[in-house]
Amino acid sequence: MDVVIEPLIVPTTLDAPDAEGFLAMVEIGNDAWQRWSGTDLHEDSAVEFRARAQETPYRVMLGAIARVGGEIVGACRVDIDKTTRESCEIDVMMTEEHENGGPVVDALEAEAERIAREHGRTVAQSWTIHRADPVDERLVPPTGAGWIPADDSSTRRMLAAGYRLGQVERNSRFDLQGDFEPVERLLAEAIATAGPDYRAVWWAGPTPPEYADGYAKAIGRMHSDVPSGDLVMEESVWDAERVFERDRRFAQAGTVFGVTLVIHEPTGEVAAFNELTIGPDRTKATSQWGTLVMPEHRGHRLGSIVKCVGLSKWHEAVPESPCVSTFNAEENRYMLDVNEKVGFVPASYAGAWEKKLS
């Protein structure tokens, strides 16, 4: 089989002559994740993905497409945070006829690793998604929490490429059209426990300047203060300008963010935050991005506050969205408990993989 590898171009517009490869990558990735997860919770909008893929002073996305007989049958991308030094995230996707490995997958894996090394990265991290169906043969991460199927195509592909499983995350779904009574009850209990020292703030759209510095600091700590299993985690550098840059870029694509903060009144610090986001099609699933309670403020049920305030406000702001999709480490029992109490149910499981690049 003759596999031709070409650079992935991020087009200036989606109707540009050079947009073919980018559009094919989004379509192949959506098809693969729906096939592997058994859900439609992870579908990317090409408009939104182009906003994510644009190079900024903080991030760059590079990649390649694979052709066989002139047809695009796979793609890879390498996401690099310029404020870190070692790691990068690699994603390889392919059409169904190539998902069990072979020349297409081998060529894309090799090209992704070449790009990573060329940019000085020594650690590759990647994700796989798996159905929530029970299986007999399970692969358990070093944390001992959770499992993924030991013998499906994604697991076999990662092991063959030299990756090791470092963590398992649960993908959970919350019905935005369902009963909000558990959300309201949990919120009232959490506010009573937290007391007057903590105040919740919520907005949708651009970040209010008065909260940008504290919010940026909290985002940066996502990489150091959340359960990371047996994975290399580097703290990403965030400041107010990086937050504003992200706001501008995604607003141009029609994406909206709903952000909940908890402010510690005696110090003015951001003690916890939660992010919900949706692309230009408001009838699609909502994605939860970051949720974090700062370690120095844990024990006051702030996780319940940001989660419940976010869900309630989001339901009012984006009533068309059917559900929220979120990922949490299987060893993060506290946040899983919060999710289960408000009504999140398991939808799929994700494997977090890592490979040291020579």
Mean pLDDT by 10 residues, the chain (358 residues): 96 95 98 96 93 94 97 98 96 97 97 98 97 95 96 96 97 96 96 97 97 96 75 91 96 95 97 96 95 94 97 97 96 93 96 95
What gap in Å lies between CA 67 and CA 2, rounded to an integer? Answer: 8
Q: Is 33 left (phi over 0), alpha (psi -120 to 50) or beta?
A: alpha
Enter the pTM of the model: 0.94
Structural domains in the chain, sorted by start:
3-171 (3.40.630.30), 173-346 (3.40.630.30)
The 8-class DSSP code of residue 179 comes to -
Whether 288 and 316 have beta carbons less than 8 Å apart is answered as: no
- How would you classify the pairing of strands 198-204 and 256-264? antiparallel
Whether 263 and 270 have beta carbons less than 8 Å apart is answered as: yes
10 Å CB burial of residue 312 (0-12, 13-18, 19+) is middle
Strands (E), 143-268: 148-149, 164-175, 198-204, 256-264
What gap in Å lies between CA 108 and CA 338, rounded to an integer? Answer: 39
